[in-house]
Amino acid sequence: MKVIVIIIHHRHGEDVRVALDKKSVTRQLAKYAKENWDDVLWSDSYTGKSQQEIIDYYFNACDEWHEEIEFDVKPKRRKNQKFNWLNP
């Protein structure tokens, strides 16, 4: 299984998020940009833009950036044991 760690660097520090696929990465970055849009880009609007356009516009217009690190994760299981995310 692949896990993508998203690190968003901003003026207050970093946010770390995790996704299982690129679609989720795009969704999470667009959500972050929308949540912080008025703080940085108060004169512009994201209305009518695609998620990728929102991400590109937001991160190009402000002093913030993001990176993605992809990991292969192999959950540990004993034979005949179902994997439990809360108690691996």
Domain assignment present for 79: no
Which pLDDT value is given to residue 30? 95
Task: Write the pLDDT tens digit of every residue in 17-57.
Answer: 999 999 999 999 999 999 988 777 766 778 888 999 999 98
Q: What is the pLDDT of residue 78?
A: 65
Beta partners for 69? 5
Query: Confidence class of residue 68 from pLDDT cuts 50, 70 and 90?
Result: very high
Range of the domain at 21: 2-72
* Residue 83 lies inside a defined structural domain of this protein: no
For residue 71, is pLDDT > 80?
A: yes
Beta bridge partners of residue 66, listed in sequence order: 8
- When divided into structural domains, the chain yields a total of 1
66 within some domain? yes
pTM score: 0.76
Amino acid at 13: G
- Asked whether the beta carbons of 76 and 14 are under 8 A apart, the reply is no
Q: What phi and psi, each to the nearest 5 degrees, are found at residue 41?
A: -120, 50
